[in-house]
Every structure is written in C-alpha cells, then in structure tokens.
Amino acid sequence: MTAPLASTQDFSNPRERNSPNMKAATTDHLIRMELHMEQMIRMIANLNERIQVLEHRLTEPALRIVGK
C-alpha cells in the first residue's frame, strides 16, 4: 500500500508535518510560487514599457492639446 498524497494528509498533525511528503509538497509549492512571481515581474515590466510608449506618444507635438 502506498502513502497518501500530500494533499490528502492532515498537516495539523505534527508527525505528518515533518513527513517527506509534506517537505516535498512544500518544496513544490515554493517552486510554483517562485515561477508565478517571475511571471508577475515580467508582466509588470511589460506594462511599464507600454506605459512609457504611451506617455511618449502623448508628448509628441502632433498629439498635444493646444490651450485656447
């Protein structure tokens, strides 16, 4: 019989909290979180670039709003 998956274990139990399955589940979770953070950083960088392009376009002389 195989051990239950980490997601089905009761990690409130101190014995299971230190189990190899818990450590593997925690490691997997941290790796996924790191990948998500890297994706978010790239998305923010892309948005910043797009904002800069739009700001530049709005300051071009042909697009300036001339006051009366």
Between residues 30 and 2, which one has the greater pLDDT?
Answer: 30
Return the percent helix, strand and coil in the chain, to nearest 5: 70, 0, 30
Q: 6 lies in a domain?
A: no
Give tens-digit pLDDT for 6-36. Answer: 555 555 666 666 777 777 788 899 999 999 9
Q: pTM (2 decimals)?
A: 0.54
Between residues 57 and 13, which one has the greater pLDDT?
Answer: 57
Q: How many domains does the chain have?
A: 1
Give the range of the structural domain holding residue 32, as residue numbers without chain letter. Answer: 11-63
Q: 32 lies in a domain?
A: yes
Given this model, what pLDDT does residue 23 score? 77
- Residue recorded with tokens 């014995």: 15
